[in-house]
Amino acid sequence: MLQNKKGKIIAVCSAPKKGMIKHEIGEGTLIEGIGLEGDAHAGFMHRQVSLISMEDIRTMMAKLPNLVPGSFAENLTTEGFDLGQLKIGDRLKVGETLLEVSQIGKECHSHCEVFKQTGECIMPKKRKFTKVIKGGKVRSGDTIEFA
């Protein structure tokens, strides 16, 4: 049974080019079927918007204290919502948008800087990818919950 607990978005992150750490932008526009406007990963098949939790980032901060939202190239950093309970096909209401979980995790092919410094990567299990079903504004402080 899925929990009905609400969480919040603590960061909206974007980068103009692939391979860059994303930076917090405060708010952005999610475009239906595309992703975060202006982000290098927008339009990438079913991986339009990525999410990771601040709780998972904090776990990695024990080994690498300078990590911040966006360090794992996620678009939305969440807090207080158990991303681990998500299954493919689950729908999430985030601000005025609607997202559908499309992929759980992503293989770390090139061993990112975090892996090189800590010997581990959380992306294969912790990162979630979604498709934008209904676009709109998303902001830091918005609620994330099951739709």
Mean pLDDT of the chain: 89
Q: Whole-angstrom Cα distance, residue 20 to residue 6?
A: 30
Its pTM stands at 0.89
Q: Is 114 left (phi over 0), alpha (psi -120 to 50) or beta?
A: alpha
Residues 6+ positions from 41 with CB-CB distance below 8 Å: 18, 35, 47, 48, 50, 73, 75
Answer left, alpha or beta for residue 7, where phi above 0 means left and psi between -120 and 50 means alpha. Answer: beta
Q: Say which DSSP state 84 is in.
A: G
In sequence order, which ranges of the chain are alpha helices (DSSP H)?
Answer: 54-61, 113-118, 123-126
∠ CA 78-80-84, nearest 5°, is 75
Which residues is 100 bridged to in the sheet? 91, 131
Mean pLDDT of 38-45: 90
d(CA 88, CA 102): 5
Res. 2: pLDDT tops 60 = no
pLDDT in tens, 70-94: 988 899 999 999 999 999 999 999 9
Q: Say what the alpha-carbon torsion angle 95, 97, 98, 103 is, to the nearest 10 degrees.
A: -90
Q: Which two tokens stand for residue 46?
A: 């079913």
pLDDT at 116 over 90: no
Higher pLDDT, 114 or 91: 91
pLDDT at 49: 97
